[in-house]
Structures are given as C-alpha cells and as structure tokens.
A and B are shown apart, each in its own frame.
Chain A
Amino acid sequence: MEMCKSVYEKIIEHARRETPLEACGYLGGKGKTVIEAYCLTNIDQSREHFSFDPKEQFNAVLTMRSKKQLAVAVYHSHPVTPARPSQEDIRLAFDPEIINVIVSLAAQEPEVNAFRIVKGDVTEEPLVVIEGLCEEPENRERRNGT
C-alpha cells in the first residue's frame, strides 16, 4: 500500500491531537494508493476504543465517491500501545476489502503499520510512504512518463 507523505503526516497529527483518546478515519484513494485522509469523530470518545459515527462515515464515502476515490483503508490510533491489531480490532474487522492502518504513539517516534484482517487472520500489508505531490497514481505515471 502506498500513502502520500502529507496523508501520513496528517493521520499522525490527528492521532496526536486526539490523544489520550483514540483517533479514527478513512483513507481514500485509488487501487492501493492513498491520497487523502478523512478524519472522523470517534463517537466512543475513549482511550481504548473507537467507533465511526455512521452519519459522518456515509458522508465521507459519498465525498470520496464524488472525487472518484475509493475507501482504501481505515485508520485509528493506539495512544499507548503498539501499531498492531488488538484482539478487539480483529474481532470487529468485518469488511474484508479494507486495509486497517494503525498509528501508534507509544514510542517517542510514531509508528504506522497497515494490515489486512479477514475472518480473524491478520496479514501485514507493506506500507510505502511517497514523497512529493499527493496525486492519483495515473497522474503520477503520466508526469513521470511511465
């Protein structure tokens, strides 16, 4: 999975802003390339749990659709625990199509990892942070002449 650096920085900043509560949101893009973060409200307002607000969730998806983006991933933060899925994350991962990104603030430097969770099976998804412009993959390929 590829993620623009500005998105990477935005979700870390969101996690820091919400700490000690968990932060959450969608990551929109195309294919496996994330080009935009949609910061959502954690309606649980909890240090240990998050749930999307369904109304915001639908609005975010409709916005992505209007921009011809897909919901590539969801992200949430672990303010004091590592960037790997908890049992609760695994139990509540119902959408097999979406990638789960976890931002950990447990160490001095933030850590961001991505996982696919399908019926309880967790597979780490390599995460590549792209420097430079945040743009759709086909535009980047066109600009690079590839």
Chain B
Amino acid sequence: MIMRLTINGEKKEVAPESMTVTELLKHQGVEIPDMVSVQVNGGFVERDAFDSSILKEGDEVDFLYFMGGGCFA
C-alpha cells in the first residue's frame, strides 16, 4: 500500500502507508533531522515529536533546513 502526501508543495506517493515524520525525513534524504523545521497541514511539529507524529493519507508536509551562520572565523 502507498500513501499520498504533498511534500514541500509536490504531490508524492510514499510507501509504506503509515510513517512518522522522522521516517519521512529519512525517506526524503534528510541526514540530520534535528536541523529541519517541519510543518504538517500548516502547523509546526516539535522536534521531540518527530518520532511519534504519524502521517496520514492526504497530509501536507513541509520541511525546511535551519538557516543560520555567522561571520566569526
């Protein structure tokens, strides 16, 4: 079975039909999940809830990498 999600604005089909946010990030090639912010259906998911947040058919998931830096050497 597959699950249809909208991931960063693009409709995609993923397998299996049930997965957590952490599993989806891994599926999408995110190597350091702690360095992304995630919204599901427009609401932020706290990082410590990535493992327990289960995605369902039709969810809209957006994830963005942390953006930061500095000018010190």
Contacts and interface: CB of A to CB of B under 8 A. Distances in A.
Interface of A: 22, 24, 44, 46-52, 54-55, 57-58, 61-62, 65, 74, 76, 78-81, 85-89, 92-95, 98, 100
- Secondary structure at the B interface, as helix, strand, loop or mixed, is strand
A85 B68 CA distance: 12
Interface of B: 9, 32, 35-37, 39, 44, 62, 64-73
B67 A49 contact: no
A57 B64 contact: yes
A86 B73 contact: yes
A47 B70 CA distance: 8
Given A54-B44, A87-B73, A88-B72, A24 B67 contact: yes
A50 B69 contact: yes
A61 B65 CA distance: 12
B7 to A, nearest CB: 12
Contact of B69 (A55, A57, A62, A93): A93
Contacts of A65: 9
